[in-house]
Amino acid sequence: MDALHAKYPFFEAAREAVAGASASLPTLVAEDAPAVERARERVERALLEGTAEPESGAFDGSESGDVARAELLSYPIARILVSLLDSEPAIEKYAAAEAATALDRIRSDIETDDELRSTSRPTVDLDEVLAEFDLADAVRAEPTRGGRDPVYYWIDVGAYLRFTSPSWGESWRLVNRALSNGDVRVSREELLEALGAAVEERVREGLPFDLEAGEGIAADLESRVAELKRLLSERTYTAPVDVVAPALFPPCMTNLIEKAERDVTLSPPESFALMAFLVGIGMTPDEVVAFCADTSLDAEGIRYQTEYLHDDRGTQYPPPTCETLANYGICHNEDDHMRVAADPLSYYETRVEEADEVTDWREQHGSDTDGADGTDSTGGGKPEAVEE
């Protein structure tokens, strides 16, 4: 079995490998093969940690044949499990986690110099990934001097609009982009983010499966589904803290706010983490727009993310954990705060509960934050809202 298929199980070649596997998925599930437990772990970590990597460590394709086989076959079983959870937020979060994991692997592969690549570790290059998603003709590298790796690329405007998002902020708008002959100029990192969106779209495709509960493979997976539902219920935030006290925000969120206030553009993971946190503490889209009025975040991008997070699809599950944020370089475990809580919302809730006095930012800035232009005349910022 090709280890590269296990590393990128959503590739078309991997699908064909699964279809041609000697054991069918119902048989594997009925026999409780190793791939079944790995599938359960895959879904659990995707929904609770934002990653599909094994708990034992990142899978890079150099593992034994049995491990690679379980890794590959766990992917279609995981898709069945997440379908049986009967939850649209679970499907969306699962697809996002699979995409984030795949993007980390793609980055690692293409940033490894060809001459240094280990023959025991299967890798892909950028051209192969583009071809996988039928983007080979839609993307071209901008020439560089001296044979250096490209820094910028030109992507067909149709593909750009399909795989990018207003969550990129003001820079997403075509009027703020270099355009030439129907192509949009993007940085290398922006191209990778677009590929992550392509992965997420493919993972999301076809979910949920139409399965009859209590029959066939669904019946054999009942205990795994029940375990996942129990874990999710323990981690679900049934109600936000519903108080906005910026002085008590976790260090990572404070750092992101201060970075945006310096007019530095946040990366997509940084922007999403901040928006998920602000929505998680009970802020409405209008309030978030007002709070971030004097930052590099633009109102359109804020509304796009917060309205998605604020509705019933996105509020069932918490924002990324500190571990996931650390993987993105967002959380640095200042003051060893991971010992206080494993995620930003729990950390914030603990600080609010321990504070002697809390003044809500919304009380100082008024309740009417939905101006015609999406801003508040009082502006955003971080007032001295709490005395401890």
Q: Hey, where are the domains in the chain? A: 3-112+207-235, 122-200, 246-387
**Side chain identity at 22, as an amino acid letter?**
S
Number of neighbouring beta carbons within 10 Å of residue 10: 20
Token pair in block for residue 12: 């078309």
Q: Packing angle between helix 34-49 and helix 65-84, nearest 10 degrees?
A: 60
The Cα 160–Cα 170 span in angstroms is 15
Q: How confident is the model at residue 320 (pLDDT cuts 50, 70, 90)?
A: confident
Mean pLDDT, rounded, of the chain: 84
Q: What is the pLDDT of residues 66-105, one digit of tens each?
A: 899 999 999 999 999 999 998 887 888 899 899 999 999 9
Q: Is the pLDDT of residue 124 over 90?
A: yes
Task: Give the global pTM.
Answer: 0.71
- Of the pLDDT bands very low, low, confident and very high (cuts 50, 70, 90), residue 248 is very high
Q: What is the 3-state secondary structure (H, E, C) of 55-98?
A: CCCCCCCCCCHHHHHHHHHHHHHHHHHHHHCCCHHHHHHHHHHH
Q: Quick one: DSSP state of residue 173?
A: S
